[in-house]
Structure 1
Amino acid sequence: MLDRSNPFAPPERHDLGQHGRELILDARNVAVDFKVEGGVVNAVRDVSFQLHQGETIALVGESGSGKSVTARTVMRLLSRRATIKPGTNIMLSGMDIVSMSERGMRRLRGKKVSMIFQEPMSSLNPVYTIGRQICEILHLHNRISGKEAMERARQLLEEVHIPEPEARLRQYPHQLSGGQRQRVMIAMALANRPDILIADEPTTALDVTVQAQILNLIKELKDKYGMAVILITHDLTIVRQFSEYVYVMQNGVVQEHNETEALFRKPQHPYTQRLMGAEPKGSAKPLGGGEPIVLEGREVNVTFKLRRGGMFKPDYFDLVAVDNLDLGLKRHETLGLVGESGSGKTTFGQALIRLIDNQGGEIFFNGDAIHGRDRKGMQPLRSRMQVVFQDPFASLNPRMSVRQIIEEGLIVNGIGANTRERVDRVRQALVDAGLPDTILNRFPHEFSGGQRQRIAIARAIALEPEFILLDEPTSALDLSVQAQIIDLLRKLQDEKGLSYLFISHDLKVVRALCHRVMVMQFGRIVEEGPVEEVLSNPKTDYTERLVRAAFEIAA
């Protein structure tokens, strides 16, 4: 039964009508159900919110809280399995959204209200040029010639600060970077000057510096055109910096709402308090001193031979991804490797554990040279060095049960005298990773993102390694789940004396988990040192820009 007496989430916002701005969106008692196998899911229940002209409100909460479903209901972009329940009332500039015909909604979408999505690559059509996709939206709502539409498209790309907009019009989505694709999505959303822009996790997959640029761009365009913005995110730093009013959602219900500063200054609901406290906190325990080096790299070089030019006149060139780098990781230490996408972090990490070949330099594991070893030569060391990847859904075999996923490494490496002993190890690894040992026969799709990442960690620690390469293990997770994974990694390090190489672009997580940090740019180390020293007092402009983007979103 839904508790309608929550004093922290009344139907009307606390500042309604107090600042003289026009109320353009008034949603009351929004409720959406989804038909699923075996029943019905109440995705959104009795949600009410208001939006004034020219302001930004934020919908925050963990995955599955109903944020995106609420926003899609405003656009009527729900799947066929969804049902908007009776009693739902959404008024947009005096128009009743719920009772409007599909034809009426098509006229309204893109003209009155637009949406930009989390992953632009799945929202842009890969077979059409950027110019054609923007022109399509312009033609939908305006009677203009092809030439006029293309000129307007060029102006839009210019407006969202895409370099060489003329050339970009003829390019395809795959030829643009992630940040540029997101800018194209913004240009498309703003093509017809909508009154409302819904931004659904617009920066989750982007580097901190690109994230800052995109958010500042949205703010700049909002101020320029007096547009209202609904920002959907789970990043509280973004919320505090860019929104004026916040709605906190959990399990399809608004638990609390208030003006941004008031909410951050004094959160009332226990869930909001927990969300605020979920920001990565603490720091790594100091090392005792005299710890031996577990993993060492000396002048490591990785070069890729790439091709450019046409089919008949190919031109090959060398791309130096890792440029003669040195690294020394001690036992029980966590070393952070940070930098923007394309800086060479993951390539360097994979070269150090011989997942890819290096073209120069020396690599040592516990003092033994491994740079000359082939795949067969590395086999005896594989159980002692493990990897946890960014996306657990991609790295766990969907056809294998939890038991098979974790036991596979034990079988391959000949660990455990018999099946019973191996299953005992699997159970212990699950318990160590903070999971129940009763899930052996379940499959990856039956778990949340945080639980899948714990399964990936259990798979790694089952082999009792000395070293784990952690490649962006928390970037796809909610803040509260991030905090749990950080605590788990700390606990495992203390109990098992593990050494971590932690690759990330999230400097908040790096600050909480790492002893030292190395900053990479274009395949080189531009700065390194104790984590607090580097992040508090960066010596290079590049590091300073990363730090400002991570902690202030003001780059």
Structure 2
Amino acid sequence: MQNKIKIENLTITNSQSKILVDAINLDIANNKITAIIGESGSGKTLTAHAIMGLIPKSLTIFQNSKIYYYTENQKIDLLKIEKKQLKALRSKKISMIFQNPMSSLHPLIKCGEQIEEVLKTHTNLSKKHRKEAVFDILRQVGFENPKRIFCAYPHQLSGGEQQRVMICMAMITNPEVLIADEPTTALDAQIQMEIIELIKQLKITYRCSVLFISHDLSLVHSFADYIYVMRNGKIEEKGTTDQIFNEPKEQYTQLLIKSKPTLTYMPHRLLTLHQNIGHHFSKTKNNENKTNDVIVLSTNQLNVVHQNNTIWGQKVYNHTLKNISFDVRNKECLGIIGESGSGKTTLLKTILGLIKPTSGEIKYKNENLDLIKYRSLDTLRNIQWVQQNPYTSLPPNMTIAKHFDAILKLHNIGNGADERDNIIKNTLALCQMSENILDRYPHQFSGGQLQRLAIAQALLVNPEIILLDEPVSSLDVSIQAAIINLLNDIRDFRSITYLFITHDIMLANYFCDTIIVLYKGEIVEKGISKEVINNPKHKYTKILIDACIT
């Protein structure tokens, strides 16, 4: 195997001498796609940043570390060359797509100008030729109207469009190595596959090598040639894609493979780091309907129309939700599936009373629900919400104890401080959290711990219904599995009804009793989960399923 980049004995430490990347050896093969898989804190992004020379001064790379870049008949150690030479290589020969396009793109500069800036820095092309090159690369990445993208600011584009712009910036100088750092995180399954197909096509067109970084092992199955599995700064396992998936040697690799449900893998419980490998492998999830016929929440002909004004004063109407009707039964888990912009979160906020519907009705049991400010305290208590981003779910300036105690006081729950304290401790125990964390602040927790606390926050008041807005989309796969297992346990213990919003149709199939599929604000399909997945009627549902299987 001929290499384009070879990493030898790379070790990186922080200012406290803690080892973040531990003497790893890694090869990026010529004209191949090499994937690094690992969870948050595994060192995968630090490895990519070391290649690009972007390691902050607070971190130290050991002297015996080597990163060789092979070009023509030369072997260049990227850790030893001058900054000026490294800058010349960067973007021109080695390019990187960063994880979050919204934070990588300048919010006040048009996208076309940002792509053009790369050419201005690394080539001697005239302004006319630079603009022609930008339009050409925009067409190559699939933009049918490149002029619109050229003139648009980042906030005017969708997440998938922003990521395509980042790919344009990385590829416009025809680099020999492309590093893609979690380029599909938080994107819908269909958009994910479009971005992956684009990277595969660009690799062929430009004959470049690709280093693809992800926390999702199943994602790279269909396109990576070689896979490195990282954990705690070390390479746990490496091999061809077939070797990793068909003959995984390490327990951690097996965990990553088995921590996500698929059409053929529906375990009784998803595998997590704290389970024995092989445990529950033979069991399939029991999809017995635990619901009864009592309808606890319903919508009837629900419509939401937003009105905006153009700069010329013209009124523009956006029909976000169109004639939404469904019933949710007691103890049922209803999955609401759709891509970004389909109306999922608008529907949830309308049910919560944060958005006033244009027409139609929402009922909790026999009570018509209005805006949140008109709802009774009892209704507010019985319908709770777990937000998508665990980092914004809790007030940053209050300890967990004070915040949870304030919630109980607001709802007049608990006769005195001791009883409230017991309710808080019991709720934390249900969410598998120690009472020792009560004096800590939100910033002192990991993402997975924060999501457990967000669930505990909703459970404190003993609600009947919990609305779950993409509760695991930003978490590592094994933490996702732990949270889904926790939600299943809570549902069994407390007999709670869930509305589960997600763009992951396979996760919805595993977790939910029934599914509705939203497309452009309309319900295009609904039914029992297994029936929808195994026999989809609408072409959009088929696209979502195909995107997960591919």
Shorter-chain TM-score range? over 0.9
1:313-337, Cα deviation, whole Å (9 max, x unpaired): 2111221211121111111110000
Residue of structure 2 equivalent to 1:80 = 57
* Corresponding letter in the other structure for 1:442: R
Residue of structure 1 equivalent to 2:367 = 368
* Corresponding letter in the other structure for 1:28: E
Kindly state the Cα deviation for residue 285 of structure 1 after the two structures are TM-superposed: 3.7
**Secondary structure in 1 aligned to 2:17?**
strand
Mapped to 2, the partners of 1:341 and 1:50 lie a distance apart of 36
> Among the aligned pairs, what percent are the same residue?
37
Kindly state the Cα deviation for residue 132 of structure 1 after the two structures are TM-superposed: 1.5
Contact 1:284 1:513 in 2 (8 A): no
Contact 1:287 1:332 in 2 (8 A): no
Mapped to 2, the partners of 1:315 and 1:40 lie a distance apart of 61
Contact 1:431 1:437 in 2 (8 A): yes
Kindly state the Cα deviation for residue 83 of structure 1 after the two structures are TM-superposed: 1.0
Residue of structure 1 equivalent to 2:487 = 489
Q: TM-score, normalised on structure 1?
A: 0.92
Kindly state the Cα deviation for residue 50 of structure 1 after the two structures are TM-superposed: 0.6
1:16-67, Cα deviation, whole Å (9 max, x unpaired): x3xxxx32111011111122xxx23311111110112110011001111010
Residue of structure 1 equivalent to 2:78 = 97
The structure 2 residue matched to 1:417, chosen from 415, 439, 443, is 415
1:272-321, Cα deviation, whole Å (9 max, x unpaired): 1222221134446422564311111111121211122x2xx211122121
Contact 2:43 2:230 in 1 (8 A): yes
Contact 2:292 2:330 in 1 (8 A): no
**Secondary structure in 2 aligned to 1:503?**
strand
Kindly state the Cα deviation for residue 374 of structure 1 after the two structures are TM-superposed: 5.6
Mapped to 2, the partners of 1:261 and 1:539 lie a distance apart of 34
Mapped to 1, the partners of 2:110 and 2:291 lie a distance apart of 58
Mapped to 1, the partners of 2:407 and 2:355 lie a distance apart of 20
Residue of structure 1 equivalent to 2:304 = 302
- Flag the 1:289–1:62 CA change in 2: closer, same or farther, 3 A: closer
Give matches, 1:143-182, under 5 Å.
Answer: 143-182=124-163
1:230-278, Cα deviation, whole Å (9 max, x unpaired): 0100122221111011100000000111111111111111111222221
Report whether the alignment pairs 1:440 with 2:438: yes
**Secondary structure in 1 aligned to 2:25?**
strand
Mapped to 2, the partners of 1:133 and 1:358 lie a distance apart of 40
1:340-384, Cα deviation, whole Å (9 max, x unpaired): 11111111122123232112112221222224x661433321111
Residue of structure 2 equivalent to 1:8 = none
* Corresponding letter in the other structure for 2:80: S
Give matches, 1:513-552, under 5 Å.
Answer: 513-552=511-550
Contact 1:119 1:205 in 2 (8 A): no
* Corresponding letter in the other structure for 1:332: K
Give matches, 1:424-503, under 5 Å.
Answer: 424-503=422-501
Residue of structure 1 equivalent to 2:403 = 405
Query: Which has the higher mean CA deviation after the structures are superposed, 348-357 or 462-471?
Result: 348-357
* Corresponding letter in the other structure for 2:471: P
The structure 1 residue matched to 2:3, chosen from 16, 23, 26, is 23
Q: TM-score, normalised on structure 2?
A: 0.93
Kindly state the Cα deviation for residue 183 of structure 1 after the two structures are TM-superposed: 0.6
The structure 2 residue matched to 1:394, chosen from 374, 392, 409, is 392
- Flag the 1:458–1:289 CA change in 2: closer, same or farther, 3 A: closer
Kindly state the Cα deviation for residue 408 of structure 1 after the two structures are TM-superposed: 2.5
1:468-512, Cα deviation, whole Å (9 max, x unpaired): 000000100111001101100000000110000001101121111
- Specify every segment of 5 or more residues in structure 2 that has no aligned partner in the other structure, as ranges: 268-284
1:134-173, Cα deviation, whole Å (9 max, x unpaired): 1211122211111111111111111111121123222211
Mapped to 2, the partners of 1:377 and 1:190 lie a distance apart of 53
Contact 1:390 1:475 in 2 (8 A): yes
